[in-house]
Amino acid sequence: MAGPVMPNVPTRRNVKVLTDAIASLESGTDVSAMFLTKRYGAFTIEGAAFISASVKTLTVGGRSIEQNLKPHKSLQALQVDMAPSESAAPAHGVAPLVQHGDLVSARFVDPAYGPFTVTGVSVASTVSDVVLVGGWFVSQGGTTAPRVVSIEVLAENGTHEYPLPPRIASWGDDAEGATEY
């Protein structure tokens, strides 16, 4: 496998370590959080953790890290990063060709969440012509999503070790939704 890789998902998450890390966080702290979900597989979000005004929990890239200071059930690992996130303006146009199952790293800028990076296995939808990583739209019909600053294909489908989530066949209420920004 060429290029940078995503860290491995811990075989067992350490709830005490996660709880202690969450308790020590202040809003605005740069973090790297690894999540594991059925719909999007394993992915990391790197950016500033903020207390969400709407849900009153710490979030990174719009995703909850905790609920009542307990680790969110999808949170697998949490690290405090020393390097602050860089600002950038979204880049519109044609995205690199991202296929279902590629390992990608996408940089986003959102007015509510600031700059952040999502790294994980891309998931395509059979319902609409979109590709997502970690719940964030990367492209639709080959055009870069509005909040994407940059996207890099780290490894093509079949050339990395990460499990391949199934294609999204419906946007039903029972499944995790996507963040369309």
* Residue 64 placed within a domain: yes
Domain residue limits at 68 = 15-80
Show the tokens assigned to 25. 């966080």
Domain count, the chain: 1
Is residue 112 situated within a structural domain?
no
Does 57 reside within a domain? yes
Give the residue with greater pLDDT, 88 vs 6: 6
User: How remote is the C-alpha of 163 from its chain's centroid?
Assistant: 16
In a domain, 144, yes or no: no
Within a 10 A sphere around the Cβ of 70, how many other Cβ atoms? 12
In a domain, 123, yes or no: no
**DSSP labels for 111-165?**
TTTEEEEEEEE-EEBSSSSEEEETTEEEEETTEEPTTEEEEEEEE-TTSS-S--P
Task: With residue 17 as reference, give the H or E element that holds it.
Answer: helix 15-24
pTM: 0.86
pLDDT tens digit sequence for 1-48: 343 456 677 788 999 999 999 999 999 999 999 999 999 999 999 999
Judge whether 61 lies within some domain.
yes
